[in-house]
A = this chain, B = another copy of it.
């Protein structure tokens, strides 16, 4: 697996699994009916944000991440990021590789820490992955997310210094 900068041409390979993940509505506070145009603009952020894809040896896109300053002004020393891994290609360590990439990127860019603002409590795979990469749950908004299968669950704020 290789992680490289995403291009506009990658979008057509990202959108099918992006749409599936957003439509399922279990992991992101995105509108499940989000249009492709909105999704593309939301994901392929311009610099200074940074967008990457993880590809296998054949060049197939396994997942993607974008990363950026979490806030402006006097909060701009904290990075954040979002991740999408193709559900048909889970289990290859793509999420972990993208997470480690974001940590390295944040350090190289001079951020002091990384915060994920809204990690769905019932998304145990993501919560466990971030914990294994050194993130801690520093707070939980009770019932902040309405999971189609689990009902109201918490939204974790997860954090680590870099």
Contact = CB atoms under 8 A, between A and B. Distances in A.
Given A143-B112, A144-B115, A25 B138 contact: no
A77 interface: yes
A121 to B, nearest CB: 12
Copies in the complex: 2
A59 interface: no
Given A140-B138, A159-B141, A25 B78 contact: no
Contacts of A87: none
Interface in A120-162: 137-148, 152, 155, 157, 159, 161
A141 B138 contact: yes
A140 B22 CA distance: 28
Interface size band for A: 35 or more
Contact of A31 (B28, B73, B142, B143): B73
A32 interface: yes
A82 interface: no
Contact of A29 (B72, B144, B157): B72
A29 B138 contact: no
B71 A32 contact: no
A13 B31 CA distance: 35
Contacts of A142: 113, 138, 159, 161
